[in-house]
Amino acid sequence: MPGFLIQQGATVICIHGGQAMPLVPNPAVTLEGMPSCLLPDPWSVAGCPGIPPTIPPCVMASWVVGTVRVTSYGQPLLVQSSQAICTPTGTPLLPIVTQARVNAT
């Protein structure tokens, strides 16, 4: 799945609007001076309102699809077309704004 690589500081939100951030950025590959993000590393979600109110807010997220041909430390990187699942809701993360110079497959 090709797309622009996701870096720490990219705008990534849960489907409810909570801000997602990588817990373990990858300093081996930098994008616009910011560390990149690897597939197996967890993300935290802050400020999720949990809509509708009967649903608990998103707290963490795990990525399930990353790059196929480009890796760092043998691990896939994250791109805009990567897919993630939030817990405990099972909803996706949405990469909104990333760097726009480096594409990967």
Report the pLDDT value the prediction gives residue 2, as an integer from 0 to 100: 85
CATH number of the domain enclosing 72? 2.60.200
* pLDDT single digits (tens) 15-56: 999 999 999 999 999 999 999 999 999 999 999 998 887 889
Alpha-carbon distance 49 to 57, whole Å? 6
Number of domains in the chain: 1
Q: How many other C-beta atoms are found inside a 10 Å radius of the C-beta of residue 11? A: 12
Q: Is the pLDDT of residue 1 over 70?
A: no
Containing structural domain, residue 75: 3-104
Alpha-carbon distance 45 to 17, whole Å? 10
Quick one: which of 22, 12, 23, 16 has its CA closest to 56? 16
